[in-house]
């Protein structure tokens, strides 16, 4: 070392790089915390906390039903499994919420392509459960349809947002073609409930994108024709619709669910004190809302409904002054998935809708379904992030919707990018 030359310890440069990387991560976390919708995050975590308690309440019923002479499951077997999945789901949700909008969009499109390919494999390689092939098992079992839901909503929003740049693009036809492909794959399983959920999301996004009101009647006719075809061609759908229209019997699972739900009155029988839940099939998944009604009462059931409505309202308020059509459509599609699935499940438990085999989002027990729902929420949080110090002019999507009713001729060639 020459005289006067400062001594630089070996590895000092890499140490500086590590320090800068550490500071960058802290800065990114501060930006994320400033931009994320903390009200929405709180509502989501509150629902998941209720779900943890609800699964603990419902776990004994399912564990005892599935226990055999050779294997006795503990009463909290499904609760401990659910807690593991919830922790993994929360980590997934927070990680995805840190993505930029562009990265979230690209990732969702790639996920959609992968899940479409997986969905095509289900009829050949799928695992049959309760008479339907919906699962793939590659070391870990998962339902491709669950992960396709958020990817479908974002991909559809991306396609429909092309219309802003060029009103003459046949985006409605492309979106309808995508729905037909997905619906055909789902009905091959068969999965009539998920098909209805995908179709409902498609309708919401197409309507918001500015469909001509004259087509609404045609779409309604197509929906009726599709339901009629499902009734005639699929035994499972026909049996469930017949049971619903016939009012059910004392041995029907939907009737059992309604009786269980109402048996707790306003305040419920108390945690682990319910007895009707022991005869209820899928108490920890499809009919967990009924278990909540029996042990915690109708007041808690009403609180859950209010929480779902608050999530939907929060997203709508967040989108009022949003300036990007893709963000409006994708967020609306994602919240339609969550809200639609929640209210179909609740209506089934109240015997107001045919049984669909849908879980209660963020509350029911689930493995891959919990991860998929947390992924959906993470994408929703990522897409609704915004700098609170920046003012926005807003996209005026209600005006765009009104223009869409008049047809593409009324739009300017350029549109708003």
Give the pLDDT confidence of 27-57 residue by residue, as tens digits: 888 888 888 999 999 999 999 999 999 999 9
Q: What is the pTM of this model?
A: 0.83
pLDDT classification of 408: cutoffs 50, 70, 90: very low
pLDDT classification of 412: cutoffs 50, 70, 90: very low
Instruction: Please give the Cα distance from 406 to 151 (Å, whole number).
Output: 30
For residue 190, cis peptide bond before it (omega within 30 degrees of 0): yes
Other CB atoms within 10 A of residue 25 CB: 10
- Give the pLDDT mean for 293-317: 94
Q: Is the pLDDT of residue 414 over 70?
A: no
Contact 295, 268 (CB under 8 A): yes
- Give the pLDDT mean for 162-167: 80
Q: Is the pLDDT of residue 250 over 50?
A: no
Task: Please report the pLDDT score of residue 235 as a whole number.
Answer: 65
Give the pLDDT confidence of 309-366 residue by residue, as tens digits: 999 999 988 888 777 889 999 999 999 999 999 999 998 888 887 777 788 999 999 8
Q: Which of 42-56, 295-309, 400-414 has the lowest mean pLDDT?
A: 400-414
Instruction: Please give the Cα distance from 90 to 96 (Å, whole number).
Output: 10
Instruction: Tell me which residue of 309, 330, 310, 308 sits closest to 319, measured CA to CA.
Output: 330
pLDDT classification of 411: cutoffs 50, 70, 90: very low
Task: Please report the pLDDT score of residue 253 as a whole number.
Answer: 75
26 or 326: which leads in pLDDT? 326
Rg of the chain on CA atoms, in Å: 24
Q: Is the pLDDT of residue 242 over 60?
A: yes
Task: Please report the pLDDT score of residue 167 as a whole number.
Answer: 79
Instruction: Please give the Cα distance from 389 to 155 (Å, whole number).
Output: 30
Task: Please report the pLDDT score of residue 31 as a whole number.
Answer: 86
Mean pLDDT for the chain overall: 81
402 or 131: which leads in pLDDT? 131
Q: Is the pLDDT of residue 237 over 80?
A: no
Q: For residue 128, what are the β-bridge partners?
A: 133
Q: Is the pLDDT of residue 404 over 60?
A: no
Task: Please report the pLDDT score of residue 302 as a whole number.
Answer: 95
Q: For residue 133, what are the β-bridge partners?
A: 128
Instruction: Please give the Cα distance from 399 to 323 (Å, whole number).
Output: 12
pLDDT classification of 417: cutoffs 50, 70, 90: very low
Task: Please report the pLDDT score of residue 297 as a whole number.
Answer: 93
Q: Is the pLDDT of residue 282 over 70?
A: yes
Give the pLDDT confidence of 375-386 residue by residue, as tens digits: 999 999 999 988
165 or 19: which leads in pLDDT? 165
Give the pLDDT confidence of 78-133 residue by residue, as tens digits: 999 999 999 999 999 999 999 999 999 999 999 999 999 999 888 888 777 766 67
Task: Please report the pLDDT score of residue 348 as a whole number.
Answer: 87
């Amino acid at each position: 070392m020459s005289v006067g030359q400062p001594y630089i310890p070996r590895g000092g440069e890499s140490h500086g790089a590590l320090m800068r990387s550490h500071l960058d991560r802290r800065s990114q976390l501060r930006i994320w915390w400033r931009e994320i919708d903390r009200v929405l995050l709180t509502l989501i975590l509150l629902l998941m906390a209720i779900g943890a308690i609800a699964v603990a309440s419902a776990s004994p019923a399912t564990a005892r039903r599935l226990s055999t002479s050779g294997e006795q499951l503990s009463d909290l077997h499904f609760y401990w499994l659910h807690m593991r999945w919830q922790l993994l789901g929360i980590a997934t949700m927070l990680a995805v919420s840190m993505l930029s909008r562009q990265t979230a969009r690209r990732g969702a499109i790639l996920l959609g392509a992968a899940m479409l390919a997986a969905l095509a494999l289900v009829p050949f390689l799928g695992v049959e459960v309760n008479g339907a092939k919906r699962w793939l098992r590659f070391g870990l079992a998962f339902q491709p349809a669950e992960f396709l839901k958020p990817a479908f909503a974002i991909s559809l929003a991306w396609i429909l947002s092309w219309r802003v740049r060029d009103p003459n693009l046949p985006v409605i036809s492309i979106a309808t073609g995508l729905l037909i492909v997905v619906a055909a794959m789902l009905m091959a399983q068969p999965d009539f409930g998920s098909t209805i959920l995908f179709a409902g999301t498609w309708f919401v996004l197409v309507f918001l994108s500015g469909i001509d009101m004259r087509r609404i009647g045609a779409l309604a006719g197509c929906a009726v024709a599709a339901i009629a075809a499902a009734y005639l061609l699929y035994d499972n759908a026909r049996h469930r619709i017949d049971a619903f229209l016939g009012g059910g019997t004392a041995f029907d699972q939907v009737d059992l669910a309604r009786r269980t739900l109402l048996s707790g009155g306003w305040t419920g029988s108390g945690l682990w004190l319910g007895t009707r839940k022991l005869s209820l099939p899928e108490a920890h998944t499809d009919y967990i809302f009924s278990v909540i009604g029996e042990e915690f009462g109708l007041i808690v059931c009403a609180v859950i409904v209010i929480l779902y409505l608050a999530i939907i309202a929060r997203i709508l308020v967040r989108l009022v002054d949003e300036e990007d059509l893709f963000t409006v459509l994708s967020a609306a599609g994602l919240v339609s998935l969550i809200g639609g699935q929640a209210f179909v499940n609740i209506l089934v438990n109240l015997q107001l809708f045919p049984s669909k085999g849908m879980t209660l989002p963020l509350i029911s027990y689930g493995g891959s379904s919990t991860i998929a729902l947390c992924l959906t929420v993470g994408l929703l949080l990522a897409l609704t992030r915004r700098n609170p110090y920046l003012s926005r002019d807003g996209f005026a999507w209600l005006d765009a919707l009104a223009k869409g009713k008049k047809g593409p001729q009324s739009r300017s060639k350029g549109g708003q990018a």
